Structures are given as structure tokens and as C-alpha cells.
């Protein structure tokens, strides 16, 4: 496979290195001469000095026979133009754009570049998952692991907030035991009204933890 | 008509003042607050601080009811991207992007974005003046000549 990588910053550098390590033919395009010379020392002739947004540079890099162009500069506008030029002017089949501002993802799709990678969004979703997973904290296993004592913290956006406990679709055999609100702890009843910030200690069957989570916190995002 | 201008440099500011003097409604966007000083004190149009590829900024400038949009920042790609957003998403009837790079201007013209390359216009008019040739229509200056590509390739291989 012949790949053109546009932008020789950190992402472009490691991408080129990885692709070459995987036995692919790669050309790396870098705009700044200083950076270019540095890259050339390591990669030799497969680095091209020039602006990847320009037709002449892409031509020089052999865009016409490229299977894939990856635009990974730190500038979203540049990445868009590089991908559009590659696809429309040189008929490159796949063009992948790095997106720095997650807001631009939709715009890229609208303008015909549907393969995008946003590191900001990726890391954000990982953090979100982390938070989501931490919401139901297992405290201890009871009765040889068939039941679990868990703690869960409600946020303002949890679907169980402002609802009474008896109205929740809790799994069978699940008991909400103690409510910690601020400095106070109280026993939970059917008519206890839940609030954002509440911490609940509950007992739930081990195989219903997901259902328990859903009843209190809503659908969890996919966790691995 | 309502016109949104992106970039309050010399071209953008002058364009804004021209249109305003003719009684049009104008909103001008720039990411540098200092740039708006070019408009002088008398400017009654709207000035919006922000980047032109941000749709919130475009909407603040009234892009949804705009009849025209001109992208005049010094960044070719910013102009290309904003012009496309405005044309494709907001369906503004008249959209023009100023693009310095003649080949990029041509490529996007082929893709349906109206562009003007001041590079070709300036160089072409100077050439005609020097050679004693009467000035031609603007469009006649917009086709890049073979010489541009040749010069670039020579520069690279040399």
C-alpha cells in the first residue's frame, strides 16, 4: 500500500515510523525546512519539503498513485483542504483527516471527508467512560458472590433524580439501603425522593449490576 | 442585501465600507479585535470577534439570512473552508473566497466555489501594463498559466 502522510509533527512522525515498520511505502510531506531536514535525517528520501495543500506538492509526492492520504497537521483547515485535493483532484480512494477541534467533525462530513480522527474527542470519551464506570463502586461481595454491596453517586443528570424510589425500575432482589446526603445518612424508603449528589448504598444481585446501574444512572456507554 | 465578510484586513474592511456606503447591511468577522479599527468610527455595521469556520460565529453574523458571503482572510484554507460551509450548509446564494494560491483557486473553482486569486490578477495586470497591452476582463486573468507549475517544480528539484 502506498500512503502519503501530510504534516511531519509528532503525529505525522510516529505514523510514518509505524507505517514504515509495517512494511508500507510512505511519503511524508513537511512544510517547514527545519523540521524537514530533521525528518530527512531519519527517513531519507521519503520526506518531501512543501505545502501539502498545494497541487504541485501532492503531485510531487505521487498522489496520483496513492492508496491513502492521511492529513495530520495541527490545522483543521489545512487537513480539510489536503483531503479534498487528494480525493477530488487526484482521485485518491481514502483520505483520513486528523481533527483538532471536535466541533469540526460534522463540518468535515458535510464537506465530503467522512474519515476523521479527533484525539480530543477520543480522550474525552475515554475519560467519560472512566467516570461512568466509577459511578457504581463495588464495596464488598456477600453470600459467596451472588450479591454485592455497592455504592453509587447520583449526578444532576441521572434519570433517577427527582423520582421516588418505588417508581424506579430496579432489578429483582435489589435493595436500596442507605442514603448519604451531605453529612447525613438515612435509611431509604419507597417514598424517598432522590436528588443529584446523593450517594446510595445498595445490595444487588451480582448478575443485575448493569440493570441496577441503568435504573439509577441511565444507559452506560460501552465499556471495554 | 445582508452581506457577511470574513476577515477585517485591508480588503475585508474596504469591502465592508463600500457595501455599507451603498446602503447594504454588513457584518464583519475577525479573530483580532484590533482589526476592526480599520473600519473607522463611522462604521455602523456589525463586528463579530471569532473564527470564521466556527458556525456559532457565522450565525452571530446572521449567515442564515445572508444574501452574500466573502472570505477575505490571509489564510487560503480558512477562506476555502468557511466558503464551503456557508455555501453547502447555509445555502447563501453568492459566496466568494479570495485565494492567493492560483492553483488552489483554480482547483476549488472546478469544485464549484467561486474564487478570486489576487496573485494572478495583480501579476497579470502588471504584466499587461509593462507590455503596453490594454487591461482585460477580470476572468481573463484568473486562469493560471503553465509557467506557474513549471516554476514550482523547478524550485523543488533544484
CA atoms within 13 A on the CB side of A65: 8
Helix, strand, coil fractions of chain A, as percent rounded to 5: 40, 25, 35
CB-neighbour burial class of residue A16 (10 A; exposed 0-12, middle 13-18, buried 19+): buried
CB A90 within 8 A of CB A63: yes
Beta bridge partners, A97, equal A71, A116
Domain ranges in chain A? Answer: 2-120, 132-217
> Domain A132-217 maps to which CATH number in 1.10.287.3510, 3.90.1010.10, 3.30.70.1450, 3.30.200.20?
3.30.70.1450
> Domain A2-120 maps to which CATH number in 3.40.50.720, 1.20.120.160, 3.30.70.360, 3.40.640.10?
3.40.50.720
CB A1 within 8 A of CB A68: yes
The DSSP output letter for A85 is: I
To the nearest whole Å, the CA of B60 is away from the closest chain A CA by: 16
Cβ–Cβ below 8 Å for B81 and A81: yes
Domain ranges in chain B? Answer: 2-116, 118-158
Distances (CA, A) of B131 to A179, B126, B136: 89, 9, 13
Compare all CA atoms of chain A with the CA of B102 and give the residue at the minimum distance.
A54
Domain B2-116: assigned CATH number: 3.40.50.720
Among B81, B107, B156, the residue with its CB nearest the CB of A55 is B107
How confident is the prediction along chain B (158 residues), in pLDDT tens digits per residue? Answer: 999 999 999 999 999 999 999 999 999 999 999 999 999 988 999 999 999 999 999 999 999 999 999 999 999 999 999 999 999 999 999 999 999 999 889 889 888 889 999 999 999 999 999 999 999 998 888 887 766 666 666 655 54
pLDDT for the residue numbered A222: 45
Cβ–Cβ below 8 Å for B53 and A107: yes
Distances (CA, A) of A203 to A106, A144, A192: 43, 14, 17
pLDDT for the residue numbered B107: 86
What confidence tens digit (pLDDT) does each residue in A6-53 have?
999 999 999 999 999 999 999 999 999 999 999 999 999 999 999 999
From chain A, pick out residues whose CB is under 8 angstroms from the CB of B107: 55, 85, 88-89
- Among A146-160, A161-175, B49-63, name the most confident range: B49-63
pLDDT for the residue numbered A158: 85
What is the C-alpha separation between B150 and B105, in angstroms, rounded?
Answer: 17
Are β-strands A175-181 and A184-187 bridged in parallel, bridged antiparallel, or unpaired?
A: antiparallel
* Cell triple for A195: 436528588
What is the C-alpha separation between A190 and A162, in angstroms, rounded?
Answer: 13
Cβ–Cβ below 8 Å for B152 and A53: no
Instruction: Name the interface residues of A facing B (CB cutoff 8 Å).
Output: 49-50, 53-57, 60, 75-78, 80-81, 84-85, 88-89, 103-104, 107, 110-111
What confidence tens digit (pLDDT) does each residue in A75-126 have?
999 999 999 999 999 999 999 999 999 889 999 999 999 889 988 877 777 7
Q: Which of A217, A208, A58 is nearest to A131 (CA)?
A: A217
CB-neighbour burial class of residue A34 (10 A; exposed 0-12, middle 13-18, buried 19+): exposed
What confidence tens digit (pLDDT) does each residue in A169-224 have?
898 889 999 999 988 899 999 999 999 889 999 999 988 888 898 888 886 554 43
pLDDT for the residue numbered B74: 94
Rounded to two decimals, the ipTM of the complex is 0.85
Amino acid at each position: 500500500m502506498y500512503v502519503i502522510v501530510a504534516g511531519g509533527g509528532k503525529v505525522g512522525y510516529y505514523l510514518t515510523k509505524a507505517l514504515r515498520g509495517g512494511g508500507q511505502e510512505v511519503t511524508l510531506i513537511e512544510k517547514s525546512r527545519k523540521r524537514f531536514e530533521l525528518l530527512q535525517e531519519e527517513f531519507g528520501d521519503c520526506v518531501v519539503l512543501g505545502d501539502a495543500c498545494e497541487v504541485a506538492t501532492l503531485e510531487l509526492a505521487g498522489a496520483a498513485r496513492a492508496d491513502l492520504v492521511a492529513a495530520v497537521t495541527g490545522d483543521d483547515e489545512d487537513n480539510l483542504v489536503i483531503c479534498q485535493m487528494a480525493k477530488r483532484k487526484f482521485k485518491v480512494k481514502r483520505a483520513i483527516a486528523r481533527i483538532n477541534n471536535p466541533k469540526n467533525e460534522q463540518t468535515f462530513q458535510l464537506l465530503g471527508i467522512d474519515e476523521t480522527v479527533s484525539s480530543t474527542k477520543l480522550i474525552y470519551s475515554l475519560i467519560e467512560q472512566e467516570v461512568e464506570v466509577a459511578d457504581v463502586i463495588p464495596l464488598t461481595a456477600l453470600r459467596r458472590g451472588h450479591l454485592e454491596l455497592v455504592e453509587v453517586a447520583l449526578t444532576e443528570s441521572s434519570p433517577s433524580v427527582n423520582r421516588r424510589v418505588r417508581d424506579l425500575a430496579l432489578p429483582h432482589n435489589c435493595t436500596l439501603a442507605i442514603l448519604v446526603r451531605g453529612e447525613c445518612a438515612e435509611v431509604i424508603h419507597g417514598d424517598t425522593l432522590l436528588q443529584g449528589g446523593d450517594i446510595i448504598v445498595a445490595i444487588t444481585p451480582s448478575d443485575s449490576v448493569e440493570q441496577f446501574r441503568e435504573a439509577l444512572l441511565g444507559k452506560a456507554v460501552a465499556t471495554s | 442585501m445582508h452581506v457577511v465578510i470574513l476577515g477585517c484586513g485591508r480588503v475585508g474592511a474596504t469591502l465592508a465600507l463600500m457595501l455599507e456606503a451603498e446602503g447594504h447591511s454588513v457584518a464583519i468577522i475577525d479573530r483580532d479585535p484590533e482589526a476592526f479599527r480599520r473600519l473607522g468610527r463611522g462604521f455602523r455595521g456589525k463586528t463579530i470577534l471569532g473564527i470564521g469556520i466556527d458556525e456559532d460565529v457565522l450565525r452571530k453574523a446572521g449567515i442564515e439570512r445572508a444574501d452574500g458571503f466573502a472570505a477575505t482572510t490571509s489564510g487560503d484554507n480558512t477562506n476555502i473552508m468557511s466558503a464551503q460551509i456557508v455555501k453547502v450548509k447555509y445555502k447563501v446564494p453568492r459566496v466568494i473566497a479570495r485565494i492567493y494560491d492560483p492553483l488552489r483557486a483554480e482547483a476549488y473553482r472546478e469544485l464549484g466555489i467561486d474564487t478570486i486569486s489576487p496573485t494572478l490578477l495583480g501579476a497579470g495586470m502588471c504584466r499587461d501594463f509593462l507590455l503596453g497591452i490594454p487591461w482585460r476582463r477580470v476572468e481573463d486573468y484568473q486562469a493560471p498559466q503553465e509557467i506557474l507549475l513549471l516554476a514550482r517544480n523547478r524550485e523543488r528539484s533544484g
